[in-house]
Structure 1
Amino acid sequence: MVDILLVGGGHAHLGILRRIRMKAVDYRVTLISASTYQYYSGMFSGFTEGLYSEQEIRINVEELCQQSGVTFIKDTIVHVDATNRKLVGTTGIEYGFKLVSFDIGSNIGSLDGSIKQIEIKPNYVFPNEIHTFRETAFPVVVGGGAAGVEMALSVQAWRLNNGYKSNVTVISSSPLLSSVSEKASSKIMKIVKQKGIVVHDQDEIQETSRQQLTTKKGRRIACSQLLPLTGAKASTLFAESSLTLDENGFLLVESTLQVKDYPWVFGAGDCVTIRTNPELPKNGVFAVRQEPVLWENINLYLTGKPLKSFVPQKKFLSILSVGQQQGLITYGRHAFYGRWAWRLKHSIDMKFMNKHK
């Protein structure tokens, strides 16, 4: 049995490893992850466009654990027994703990039909999958949020730079970036049209055949491969456990990032919903912000002291790579576009990656 068991190598747990590396702890800490590497989604667009190598967008979690004095185990957890404080991996091995924290991210829902669909989660499959997608004859991205827009523009930029036909299509049930602001939506529509992307917004896929999609509005769209980016879907790990879940299957935690009925179970990042802030977007920004509270509360719990609450910021800065080393910054209702925005994003991403070297 270990004192602290960290499941997953997401942003919050990476932050904990960095803290332990700087200041050793007396606890026995183990991290379990399905992959030796954690791929940084913030640089997926740059990798897709060909601006970064695979080595530049990944963090060696096993090496970081070794530097921090944390035991690393490569395994995938398939069963949670919160009552008896045990987890079971695909290997059949049981892992006991005093306290466990989950930071395993989320999945992306797939669509029915016969057309080949690309899956980019878990994130360690991303490099191989995106290679296939960006070379396909008729690539179609489904989803008009930040992820869908970024990937469509990055694939388009790569195709333009490598002699492929620039025919990326985006299908979205709402206007692009409409959940961000009207200004962001208006700007991104101008950008995608300028860069030659075909957008079918306020429409949905109704039927798929081998090389074609049919939408609810009757549009027929050539499609050889499909990349669904329609929002976060809960991991199946918690479905058969006794842990409390929200209506969509995400692990439900309190503002302390604890599960109410099992105070020795914590969670952060995309795999959880916070009861007091159920509408909080599932993105890396909030996982990074949760990490200091998560680590402090883990220590407070193990020493029997009152825990603190995570209070999310109301506004946050977001920078999208829109291809050809240009970026779109959004903050609240504001949106700004230009090369300087991409350079700022590049600087932030490099700073984040350098923390883990």
Structure 2
Amino acid sequence: MQPSQQPPGLPALRDIVLVGGGHTHVGVLKRFAMKPEPGVRLTLICRDTHTPYSGMLPGYIAGHYRYDDVHIDLRRLAEYAGARFYSDEAIGIDHDARTVLCRSRPPVSYDVMSINIGSTPRMELVGGAGDHAIPVKPIHRFNDRWQTLLHRIEEHPGQTRVAVVGGGAGGVELLLAMQFRLGKELAARGRDPAELSFALYTRGESILPTHNARVQAHFRDTLVRRNVAVRTGTDIVEVAAGRLKDADDHWHDADEIVWVTNAGGAAWLRDTRLALDDDGFIQVDDTLRSPSDPRIFAAGDIASQIHHPREKAGVFAVRQGRPLADNLRAAVTGRPLTPYHPQAKWLALISTGDRHAVASRGGLCLAGNWVWRWKDSIDRRFMSRFMPQLNDLPSMPEGPAKPLGANRVPLDEAENDQAISAAAMRCGGCGAKVGASVLSRAIANLAPVAREEVLIGLHAPDDAAVVRVPPGKAMVHTVDFFRAFIDDPYVFGKVAANHALGDIFAMGAEAQTATAIATVPQGLEAKVEETVRQMMTGAVEVLNEAGCALVGGHTGEGSELALGFAVNGLVDEDMTEVLRKGGMRPGEVLILTKPLGTGTLFAAHARLAARGRWIDAALKNMCQSNRQAAACLREHGASACTDLTGFGLLGHLVEMTMPSGVDAELDLAALPILDGAEETAAAGILSSLQPANLRLRRAIHDQADWVEHPRYPLLFDPQTAGGLLASVPANRATDCLEALRALGYDRAAVIGRLEERSRKPTDEPTSIRLTV
């Protein structure tokens, strides 16, 4: 059973928002997963779905680990913890409104917030560094650049000079890992590893300055033995293309420059009220709370404990997980906070790239291959607690739902009345509407696109909207409605609007107006308002982009979040531009504009069996409008078109071939498939709609021969906001695909062709032949 942060029937009373997916917040999520706080809802805002474990990153660079070995799947972990995962980046704080400002979504409300975003390279301190050097942080960008560098060196022979700026443990360890991996790759290709030369630059007089002399000596000897040029006492003050300049005006040649120094706090923190230290890190007291805003906590590298300054090291971030979780819980339940005192000495295990490592703690120095094995064991044990395999996440204790009185969140009189009302039996009929004041506040800042045909709409709300039909136009009507399948109301709003618009675009119509119908779970007025605001902001962004005016709607209470739209479109009265399902002709080819697999992927997501990046890619496709694709298909002579939704590819194809009187051949190998969909389908994780769609399998010629093919189940996979399926003249298909891909439909493909009908009588299903 999927864990749930809130027992059924208990509304969210307080919001804890976690900004950033660092090691400390990973620990917080795990602790709340194992012991939920009734009435408390967690939201994680993070740009990256997969966060690397810093202790294993050098091993990944060296080639000892795969990507998934060293990355924690935050979307999966958040789902396990019952937390909402918002894929975005914080760029500010509105302390008065208690909201986190985000780069590409509406502000997110919080009652208590924690920041764990790591440090940021201060490239602006050195001229040209931002343009010509590769910063090791943020790590996701470094990984992209590392993969590019790895490919370039592997594929293009010749002398390459690599410079690493930063002589701390991070810089030395990274350099040795890069050297080991690149040398190994060159040797595997029969090339001389001596093509590569490495140099380390540090302004200090010694490398690893925070470690003891024996550790420093060991790494100094290792660098010499590995022919690395070490430039101590060298302060780099300028970077240009292919070279670096030191403080003595000497230039040093380098083809690749990696930056592992001058880290500080993110620039946006300077515009908040938070107290920062000289490097821009958030100052916190012994409870990890900001002294300048008692609602905000910070941990990990971004935090600087006022009374216990420490080196930036992953060990502190990991160990802050428990005290931070406890203090966040205490902050929303009105209990005293507990101080956290970090240890004065800690064990550091530093690798040399070649499965050899050094243990450093105070005056201790132990080295050997056995130390690397020890480190590997510790790291793997840590990661096993958060790995993306379903069975690696321990089962959450199950039990009866706690009553409202079991929550420990202190409420004022108005909130208490709202909470009791939300948990009690609700009225039906019009009594189930969301309150007018809540709704008006939630939609106050929506700005639907203006259309001159809208005579009465949201700009002057009345009992109903009044819309004029332009002369010479006919109306196209459609409606779609479904419950939320993800925990992000903003993204859900975008997907729901795209899904509803799909029918309009598939018929070649112009979207004109839409009315919304939504159900929202009961709860405190502020929480309901926030949900409606997030969801309708996402929806209106999509509607506006399509030129479709939101003119009204209805919002009521329900057990689950759900959203739908009745959409009106316009076509020419003579119907010459209308694309219908029944216009297919033999000899034409079938084009699909988006990949398949949303049904199985989100079924797997609900069971914690889908990787976060698979869900990211699926949502990106679902948020892509079909408007431009529809216009492109018409321009290239499409004779029939439909959008793929709940009936799946085969169901919609039969809907087209039957009235067209044609048969079809589908090439399973040509089907565009979302990443992960084949894996989840092969595991038997399928949508609840799949059995109903399977009834059409009799349309498949020799279907018994294909049931074991890995892509066979995906023929019946129900799609949400799926792509367009169209028939196009064969001689125009290549140009059509090129145009679609230029518009951003990167996975558009020819998936089959149409043939003369073979089956008689006409009431029998048309024949769908499969091939590879």
- TM-score, normalisation: structure 1: 0.94
Q: Deviations over 1:313-338 (max 9, x none)?
A: 01100011102111111011221211
Paired AA for residue 26 in structure 2:
L
Establish whether residue 126 from structure 1 lines up as the match of residue 142 from structure 2. Answer: yes
Measure, in 1, the Cα distance between the counterparts of 2:241 and 2:119.
Answer: 28
- Paired positions, count: 356
Q: Secondary structure at the match of 1:256?
A: coil
Answer yes or no: is the 8 Å Cα contact 2:199–2:228 preserved in 1: yes
Answer yes or no: is the 8 Å Cα contact 2:127–2:237 preserved in 1: no
Paired AA for residue 318 in structure 1:
A
Measure, in 2, the Cα distance between the counterparts of 1:324 and 1:261.
Answer: 46
The residue number in structure 2 matching 1:183 is 214
Alignment of 1:48-197 (within 5 A): 48-110=61-123, 111-113=126-128, 116-134=132-150, 137-163=160-186, 164=193, 165-174=195-204, 175-197=206-228
Query: Following TM superposition, by how much is the alpha carbon of 1:351 offset from its aligned partner in structure 2, in angstroms?
Result: 0.9
Answer yes or no: is the 8 Å Cα contact 2:281–2:303 preserved in 1: yes
Answer yes or no: is the 8 Å Cα contact 1:81–1:242 preserved in 2: no
The residue number in structure 2 matching 1:331 is 361
Answer yes or no: is the 8 Å Cα contact 1:325–1:343 preserved in 2: yes
Measure, in 2, the Cα distance between the counterparts of 1:295 and 1:240.
Answer: 27
Query: Following TM superposition, by how much is the alpha carbon of 1:2 offset from its aligned partner in structure 2, in angstroms?
Result: 4.7
The residue number in structure 1 matching 2:253 is 222
Answer yes or no: is the 8 Å Cα contact 1:211–1:222 preserved in 2: yes
The residue number in structure 1 matching 2:381 is 351
Q: Secondary structure at the match of 1:91?
A: coil
Quickly say closer, same or farther: Cα 1:300–1:127, change in 2 above 3 A.
Answer: same
Paired AA for residue 61 in structure 1:
L
Query: Following TM superposition, by how much is the alpha carbon of 1:207 offset from its aligned partner in structure 2, in angstroms?
Result: 4.3
Higher relative contact order (CA 8 A, sep 6+): 1
The residue number in structure 1 matching 2:316 is 286
Paired AA for residue 29 in structure 2:
L
Answer yes or no: is the 8 Å Cα contact 1:2–1:30 preserved in 2: no
Measure, in 1, the Cα distance between the counterparts of 2:222 and 2:67.
Answer: 27
The residue number in structure 2 matching 1:272 is 303
Query: Following TM superposition, by how much is the alpha carbon of 1:29 offset from its aligned partner in structure 2, in angstroms?
Result: 1.1
Q: Deviations over 1:173-195 (max 9, x none)?
A: 11111222222211110111112
Matching residue within 34, 39, 48 for 1:35? 48
Query: Following TM superposition, by how much is the alpha carbon of 1:217 offset from its aligned partner in structure 2, in angstroms?
Result: 4.9
Measure, in 2, the Cα distance between the counterparts of 1:280 and 1:156.
Answer: 30
Query: Following TM superposition, by how much is the alpha carbon of 1:213 offset from its aligned partner in structure 2, in angstroms?
Result: 2.7
Over the aligned positions, Cα root-mean-square deviation in angstroms equals 1.8
- TM-score, normalisation: structure 2: 0.45
Matched-pair identity in %: 29
Paired AA for residue 77 in structure 1:
A
Query: Following TM superposition, by how much is the alpha carbon of 1:231 offset from its aligned partner in structure 2, in angstroms?
Result: 4.4
Largest Rg, 1 or 2 = 2
Answer yes or no: is the 8 Å Cα contact 2:93–2:99 preserved in 1: yes
Answer yes or no: is the 8 Å Cα contact 1:116–1:224 preserved in 2: no
Query: Following TM superposition, by how much is the alpha carbon of 1:210 offset from its aligned partner in structure 2, in angstroms?
Result: 2.9
- What 5-or-longer segments of structure 2 have no aligned partner? 1-12, 154-159, 187-192, 388-772
Measure, in 2, the Cα distance between the counterparts of 1:121 and 1:325.
Answer: 24
Establish whether residue 249 from structure 1 lines up as the match of residue 272 from structure 2. Answer: no
Identify, as 1 or 2, the structure richer in strand: 1
Answer yes or no: is the 8 Å Cα contact 1:103–1:269 preserved in 2: yes
- What 5-or-longer segments of structure 1 have no aligned partner? none
Measure, in 1, the Cα distance between the counterparts of 2:288 and 2:301.
Answer: 12
Query: Following TM superposition, by how much is the alpha carbon of 1:166 offset from its aligned partner in structure 2, in angstroms?
Result: 3.6
Query: Following TM superposition, by how much is the alpha carbon of 1:155 offset from its aligned partner in structure 2, in angstroms?
Result: 1.0
The residue number in structure 1 matching 2:34 is 22
Answer yes or no: is the 8 Å Cα contact 1:107–1:235 preserved in 2: yes
Establish whether residue 320 from structure 1 lines up as the match of residue 350 from structure 2. Answer: yes
Answer yes or no: is the 8 Å Cα contact 1:120–1:130 preserved in 2: no
Quickly say closer, same or farther: Cα 1:96–1:218, change in 2 above 3 A.
Answer: closer
Q: Secondary structure at the match of 1:185?
A: helix
Paired AA for residue 143 in structure 1:
G
The residue number in structure 1 matching 2:390 is none
Quickly say closer, same or farther: Cα 1:259–1:132, change in 2 above 3 A.
Answer: same
Q: Secondary structure at the match of 1:259?
A: coil
Quickly say closer, same or farther: Cα 1:117–1:240, change in 2 above 3 A.
Answer: same
